[in-house]
């Protein structure tokens, strides 16, 4: 399985100093069923540690995840920045996840070349 960060998430993760090893570990946990919340349509919420705060006080990520397909980190926020995501944003993230899941390998390569996606 290949793991990607969308451009905005990659920028956010870099700013928060969240490395690719943390993201790979989160995906491994998700493959074992350790998902914090199923938001529907392959969209999940997953806690990750941030800036030595640990998982509980750290960051939240919204991930397009299907165990047989690619995984895409789409959105991230710190716990103290927001407590929850509204239903309108969740619907938009589900639509975006559906789009990401339907990309062909050629389309993925193009998005990687254009730096709209970053591979973890």
pLDDT in tens, 40-80: 999 999 999 876 555 566 799 999 998 788 999 999 998 77
Q: Structural domain tally of the chain? A: 1
Least confident among 5-19, 43-57, 84-98: 43-57
Helix (H, G, I), strand (E, B) or coil at 76: strand
Q: What is the pTM of this model?
A: 0.91
What number is the average pLDDT over the span 24-33? Answer: 94
In this structure, what is the dihedral angle of CA atoms 82, 4, 69, 56, given to the nearest 10 degrees?
A: -30
Confidence of residue 83 (pLDDT cuts 50, 70, 90): low
Predicted local confidence at residue 86, as pLDDT: 85
Range of the domain at 108: 3-119
């Amino acid at each position: 399985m290949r793991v990607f960060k969308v451009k905005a998430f990659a920028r956010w993760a870099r700013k928060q100093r969240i490395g690719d090893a943390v993201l790979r570990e989160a995906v491994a946990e998700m493959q074992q069923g350790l998902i914090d919340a199923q938001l529907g349509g392959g969209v999940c919420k997953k806690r990750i540690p941030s800036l030595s705060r640990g998982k509980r006080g750290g960051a939240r990520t919204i991930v397009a995840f299907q165990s047989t397909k690619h995984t895409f980190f789409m959105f991230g926020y710190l716990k103290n920045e927001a407590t929850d995501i509204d239903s309108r944003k969740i619907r938009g993230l589900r639509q975006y996840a559906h789009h990401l899941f339907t990309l062909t390998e050629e389309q993925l390569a193009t998005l990687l070349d254009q730096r709209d996606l970053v591979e973890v």
